[in-house]
Amino acid sequence: MGINGPPVNEILSWAITKLDKNGVPEAKPMFTQTAPVLQTSLNPGQYLILGRGLAMAAQIAITVGENPVNRTLVLGMAQINLRLVTTRGRKPVTDPVDWELRTYEKGKPGGGEFVSSQTAATAHFNVLAGGYVVRARYQGVSADLVVPLKPGQAYDYTVNLYAGHGRLSGWTGDKRMVQKIQWQVVREKPNASGQFILVAEAEGDNPTLMLREGNYMVIGTYKDFWGMAPMTIVSGETVKGHVPMKAGLGKPEIVQAP
């Protein structure tokens, strides 16, 4: 049942579902069978294998090539399948996402010990049952999700970045600057030392950044010119960050997030 446990002798219901190039399963299984052991022939590709008994179920993703594939499905384990949306109502992203799985520890929002990581549009982890923290990072924006996993179960989660976009521009009077401005987006409020915490960076006269929903300060720098202005990001929307630029001293101190 679990790792190093005895083989299951009961009759299991098996289902095989084809995965596309992004690791997303098709709507319906392509093959089903009822037997203690699954044996079949498959064309090369990626597949999701589901085994279901009277009290437990588990699934595993496999890649089939020219050589035979032998896998042991551990019912004491749990599987989590992950995909990402940038905001509610959007389709899951198809570009690579950096996924990280850590153990859940109370009082540690970012998670405890590192477990595993994958880089793909969708991720599939087979782990011991327990509590975990999933971290997804996409285009410089990250989001964490706490997931409790029970043994022998398979879970499908969609992580929402709650992200929007900010389009930045620097202005001197009523004229927009066309130079390559160095941009820094920081948290709205400074820390106890008066330093602003860096969130994202960009360069250009009118760049667009993806950011999580929330309030920020935008700081632009070009040679002796600098400027600072607030910007509120709304999930699913693009807002304009107009920053008045001036020559002189006074730019605040910016530090990396701890």
Instruction: Find the length of the chain.
Output: 258
* CA dist 180 → 155, 164, 185, 203, 233 (Å): 46, 23, 16, 6, 23
Do 52 and 131 share a domain, yes or no? Answer: yes
CB 58 within 8 A of CB 3: no
Same domain, 103 and 180: no
pLDDT of residue 60: 80
Query: Are the beta carbons of 221 and 201 closer than 8 angstroms?
Result: no
pLDDT attached to residue 55: 56
d(CA 55, CA 177) in angstroms, rounded, equals 66
Split into its structural domains, the chain has a count of 2
- Residue 12 has a pLDDT of 81
- Are 27 and 131 found together in one domain? yes
pLDDT at 54: 63
Please indicate, yes or no, whether residues 65 and 148 belong to a single structural domain of this protein: yes
Residue 137 CB partners (closer than 8 Å, separation 6+): 97, 98, 100
Q: Are residues 150 and 197 in the same domain?
A: no
- Classify residue 2: in a domain, yes or no: no
How far is Cα 163 from Cα 36, in angstroms, rounded to an integer?
Answer: 46
Q: Could you give the CA distance from residue 111 to residue 107 in angstroms, rounded to a whole number? A: 9
Last residue of a domain, one of 128, 160, 192: 160
Residues 172 and 233 in one domain: yes
Q: Is residue 60 in some structural domain?
A: yes
CATH number at residue 225: 2.60.40.1120
- The reply to whether 214 falls in a domain is yes
* pLDDT at residue 8, rounded to an integer: 63
Q: Is the dihedral of CA 27, 28, 31, 34 positive or negative?
A: positive
Residue in the structure block whose two tokens are 């940038």: 86
Cβ burial of 229 (10 Å; 0-12, 13-18, 19+) is middle
Block mean pLDDT (10 aa), the chain, length 258: 55 88 85 89 90 70 88 76 92 95 80 88 87 92 90 88 95 94 95 92 95 96 94 95 91 84
Please check whether residues 191 and 209 belong to one and the same domain.
yes
> What are 73-119's pLDDT values in tens digits?
766 678 899 999 999 888 999 999 999 999 888 777 677 889 899 99
Specify whether 139 is located in the same domain as 212: no
Single residue among 133, 160, 187 that ends a domain in this structure: 160
167 and 144 assigned to the same domain: no
Amino acid at 11: I
Range(s) of the domain holding residue 205: 163-250
